[in-house]
Structure 1
């Protein structure tokens, strides 16, 4: 009896573990300007991060049991899900969670299609990061696509078997001094502490899953914003 119980429990745990995997999202495009870049998110509102293209990729988790992708590090215990709100690709908290599938070629699909994603600048996003970097937008039917938008697909890399998305560091502290975020500011680093400068304000954040440049705001501001929301709900 004990053996059967343990066997059932082991099977359940194994299935649960197999349902999730750490992944990086990479840009695949015929346009060399953006091809090979990574996707990461930047804080743009209360518990909402917009997704931008950059030199590195945010470490996410894909749950095949419910076809969701989320970041478990922004606010531990409260996953921020990859979602599509209208035409905006975000990582945030919300009741409507977009379902994603990974096809046999490791491309991310929505409703069975890998197309519909576009890299766009000057989108009038809340913090105006798109003045310096490409924002990821989604137009599934190809209608009303902004002028100058660059189409791309999203390739999914297994984070446990590749290091191509990780920017190597020679120090336990990674520092950037650029006053403005650029197309290459979302560089991932696995250093213990990342001290960054974005739009003239310095942000310090800690492991795991940190970013240099503008994307560092994701780790601090997103958590603070969600904390404020939770406290308001409890009040």
Structure 2
């Protein structure tokens, strides 16, 4: 984690356009919540996450610690995700697997960048990791205990709507769940066509995504 923190902290620069947008919108949303101030625009109409979740938190931190503080918050989220990944993998497999997974994740380019990027991505990654950890951690408890994973999962979806693509559609969908199944690049070939191209890995992937994908296409 020290290496991960160091790699993220070595990145620097002025506020990126998205960072400025979410922090500024957070101040507007906070003023709306506290004082009823009218919003200049409807942020919910085009934001990729609920404007009253991450932007408001970012605005509160920005008021006290500035952009650096908001970026440090992202770093804490990513460090938390690394710790949860280690714990989850260790419980599923063993200590060596947990250390390997955490080590690999900590030096990924996306991990380093998100750890120093004041947007909702780091928060969404942390909440999704927390939800997955809760599912694994409650494996020996009562069936109802797995519901503890629901609140962080719901928050992850609210913080960044695109998270649902990761959880329900690992193969990727380009964001359009309304397209016919036959258009999807990961769709199972019909009839005899393409049977020779289906291997065990493809079948496992189709199995993993079948429940969420078919439900989404039905709508």
Is this a same-fold pair by TM over 0.5? no
Which protein has the larger Cα radius of gyration, Structure 1 or Structure 2?
A: 2
Task: Point out the structure with the larger helix share.
Answer: 2
